[in-house]
Structure 1
Amino acid sequence: MRPQKINDEELIISIAKIFRAQGYEGTSLKDLSDITGLKKASLYHRFPNGKKEMAESVLNHMDKWVADNIFNVLNKEGDSAEDRLKNGLLQIGKLYNGGMESCIFRALSMQNGMDLFRQSISNGMNEWLKAFKNFGLSMKLSSHLAEEKAMQTLIDIQGSLILSKGLQDASIFESTLKKIAHRYR
């Protein structure tokens, strides 16, 4: 058996990059082939169900990365709330390249993507809300206030990503992360 040209993680990261940049509908198999360096036949060998399976793999990879690097950091026992939030927000900055990368949920929710990935997107957003609500609860906020702050945090992150990318101004995203940090003081 010949060695793979690209390992699974590098492959998923490359596919995520093109989906984040062009959306599900806007990404062709040629685009996927070009960014991964694999021929279409090799892509189908790795993903027999085609582009939909590739997008699902990206969502699964992102879910795991976010859980490991953001949610677990936010709710890590033994660290101060201030440190957990600071480190979680640093990881959010990394995930979105300082505000210049689109959210995979947005990228896959356009046009027919929402019909295909509605449940995964909804589940992912609910996990963000749950993680931030749990963080708020760990700070002894009431359930209602923790939920309210979690919702506003997700709205702020998503909105600032759109504005930062659209206006090509990462300071919008950076400022939003600072406001989120202040929200939980």
Structure 2
Amino acid sequence: MRPQKVLDKDLLTALGKVFRSKGYEGTSIKDLSEATGLKKASLYHRFPDGKEEMANSVFSHIDEWVKETIFFALNDESIVPQARLKQAIDHISTLYNGGSYSCLFRAFSMENGLQLFEKHISNGITAYIKAFNTVGLALKFNKKEATEHAVQTLIEIQGSLILTKALNDTSIFENTLKNIENRYLKQ
């Protein structure tokens, strides 16, 4: 058996970049082929169910990374909550490349993408809120405050990503992350 030209991690990263920039509906197999350096036949060999399978694989890949980094940091009771929050914020910055990458939730929530990926999107958002709620409780917020902070955090992250793209200014995203951290720590 010949070794794969493109490793799974690299392949999923390349596919993810295309989906993030063009959305699910706007992405063609040609776009995905060009981004990965694989011929269409090779893509279909690795993903027999086509573009939808590629998108699901990208979601799963990023979801796993988020669980291992962001959610792990927010839930790691072996370190103080302030450090947990800081680590998670740093990982969020990495996930979005300092604000230069769009969010998959947004990219896949347009047109038919929402129907196809509603479960991924809903589960992802719920998991983010739960993880930020956990760190809020660890920082001694009451349940209502912890939930409000968690929801507001997601609103701010998503909104800042849109503004960052629209204004081509990554400082918006980075400042938002700093403001989130300050809001949590200045109870």
CA deviation string 1:98-153 (max 9, x = no partner): 11110011011111111111111111110000100011111221111100000000
Give the match for residue 148 of structure 2: 148
| Matched residue count | 185
- Which contiguous aligned blocks of 4+ residues in structure 1 show a shift greater than 6 angstroms? none
Alignment partner of 1:12 is 2:9: no
SS in 2 for 1:23: helix
Cα distance in 2 for residues equivalent to 1:100 and 1:37? 22
Give the match for residue 137 of structure 1: 137
Contact preservation (8 Å) 2:75, 2:131: yes
Cα distance in 2 for residues equivalent to 1:44 and 1:76? 39
Alignment partner of 1:46 is 2:46: yes
**Alignment root-mean-square deviation, CA:** 0.8
Cα distance in 2 for residues equivalent to 1:57 and 1:177? 28
SS in 2 for 1:109: coil
Structure 2 segments unaligned to the other structure (5+ residues): none
% identical aligned pairs: 57
Give the match for residue 181 of structure 2: 181
Structure 1 segments unaligned to the other structure (5+ residues): none
Contact preservation (8 Å) 2:82, 2:139: no
**1:182 alignment partner AA:** N
- 1:78 CA displacement: 1.9
Give the match for residue 28 of structure 1: 28
Cα distance in 1 for residues equivalent to 2:131 and 2:77? 13
SS in 2 for 1:184: helix
Cα distance in 1 for residues equivalent to 2:170 and 2:125? 23
Cα distance in 1 for residues equivalent to 2:155 and 2:25? 24
Give the match for residue 158 of structure 2: 158
Cα distance in 1 for residues equivalent to 2:16 and 2:37? 14
SS in 1 for 2:108: helix
**1:52 alignment partner AA:** E
- 1:79 CA displacement: 1.2
Give the match for residue 76 of structure 2: 76
